[in-house]
């Protein structure tokens, strides 16, 4: 069975749903405030401060370090010299620290998934935990002078990392976890009719589609705001959310975006919402892409 088929088979394993739910619930409990908002720790782990998810950056540490371990172990075996041992062991230990950081940030990101994303993420995490266990055992063997066994266990751990990395790539590029969910279409440069002025009442949140772009239109304290209607995090419908303190709050996971510029006030979203130039003319609310000449 090819790896791609294996991935599809994992997606179909509905029995993974129950343990995934339990773990995701436990993670959520730690990283969510009583009101349902993500904690500052959750925002930090999700990479809100960074402008993109933190997890993918940190996964490079164990993958890189354990590749180094594999290489130095191989060189040591071929040359039958011990001068590669210290480097291999150090890289292994660095990889363990990186794996811990990757696990924590990955769990923070994964807690918001559902269905296939959740099952794939659960399998990805389980393989990484097994790999980390194997590398821990390998380090123990090396410290006790059983280097041959330690090298064999590390090689087994590396095979887990490779499969897990493949699944992780599928989660990002296939399932779009951690990438922006803002539609690729852009609003035209010319003024477009969005909605009649008298159809938008104070406090309304309305979704309109202009040139295939879903747009949220709202009136708050007399002012009209327009921004992308699809939440950049995982595609939540912002028009079904609410407005608080000048921000629209996503109904799915509570990301807050400022109405006037789309900036993130709190995550888990890491990409801001595009906002549009807006005017009221002849009883019509019109919008266009930002940054146009008059
Ligand atoms: S979809 Fe997750 S915060 Fe909007």
Residue 267: its pLDDT value, please?
Answer: 87
Residue 1: its pLDDT value, please?
Answer: 55
Q: Which of 233, 237, 242, 272 to mutate to test the pocket of ligand 1 (most atoms within 8 A of CB)?
A: 233
Which atom of ligand 1 approaches the CA of 181 most closely? Answer: 1
Tell me the CA–centroid distance for residue 203 and ligand 1, in Å.
21
Domain topology for 192-288: Rieske Iron-sulfur Protein (2.102.10)
| Whole-structure pTM value | 0.86
Tell me the CA–centroid distance for residue 110 and ligand 1, in Å.
13
Instruction: Tell me the pLDDT tens digit for each residue of 110-134.
Output: 999 988 888 899 999 999 999 999 9
Residue 71: its pLDDT value, please?
Answer: 97
Tell me the CA–centroid distance for residue 36 and ligand 1, in Å.
13
Residue 279: its pLDDT value, please?
Answer: 94
Tell me the average pLDDT across 188-206: 93
Residue 185: its pLDDT value, please?
Answer: 83
Position 276 confidence tier, pLDDT thresholds 50, 70, 90: very high
Q: Which residues of 255-288 are buried (b: 16+ CB within 10 A; e: fewer)?
A: bbbbbeebebbbbbbbbbbbbbebeeeeebbbbb
The strand ranges marked E within the chain are 192-196, 205-210, 213-220, 223-228, 242-244, 247-249, 256-258, 264-266, 277-281, 284-288
Instruction: Tell me the pLDDT tens digit for each residue of 50-68.
Output: 999 999 999 999 999 999 9
């Amino acid at each position: 069975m090819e790896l791609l088929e294996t991935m599809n088979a994992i997606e179909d394993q509905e029995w993974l749903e129950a343990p995934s739910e339990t773990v995701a619930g436990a993670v959520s409990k730690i990283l969510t405030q009583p009101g349902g908002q993500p904690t500052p720790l959750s925002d930090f782990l999700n990479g809100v401060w960074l402008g993109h998810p933190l997890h993918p950056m940190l996964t490079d540490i164990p993958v890189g370090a354990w590749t180094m371990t594999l290489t130095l172990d191989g060189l040591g075996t071929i040359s039958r010299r011990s001068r590669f041992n210290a480097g291999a062991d150090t890289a292994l230990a660095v990889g363990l620290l990186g794996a811990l950081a990757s696990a924590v940030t990955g769990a923070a990101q994964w807690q918001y998934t559902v269905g296939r994303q959740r099952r794939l993420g659960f399998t990805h995490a389980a393989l990484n935990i097994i790999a980390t266990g194997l590398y821990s055992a390998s380090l123990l063997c090396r410290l006790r002078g059983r280097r041959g066994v330690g090298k064999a266990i590390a090689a087994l751990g590396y095979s887990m990392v490779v499969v897990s990395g493949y699944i992780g790539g599928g989660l990002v590029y296939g399932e779009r976890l951690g990438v922006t969910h803002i539609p690729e279409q852009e609003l035209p440069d010319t003024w477009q009719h969005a909605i009649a002025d008298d159809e938008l009442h104070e406090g309304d949140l309305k979704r309109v589609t202009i040139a295939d772009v879903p747009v949220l239109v709202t009136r708050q304290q007399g002012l009209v705001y327009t921004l992308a209607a699809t939440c950049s995090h995982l595609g939540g419908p912002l028009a079904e959310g609410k407005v608080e303190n000048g921000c629209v709050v996503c109904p799915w996971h509570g990301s807050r975006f400022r109405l006037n510029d789309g900036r993130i006030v709190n995550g888990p979203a890491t990409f801001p919402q595009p906002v549009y130039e807006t005017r009221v003319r002849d009883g019509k609310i019109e919008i266009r892409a930002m940054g146009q000449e008059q």
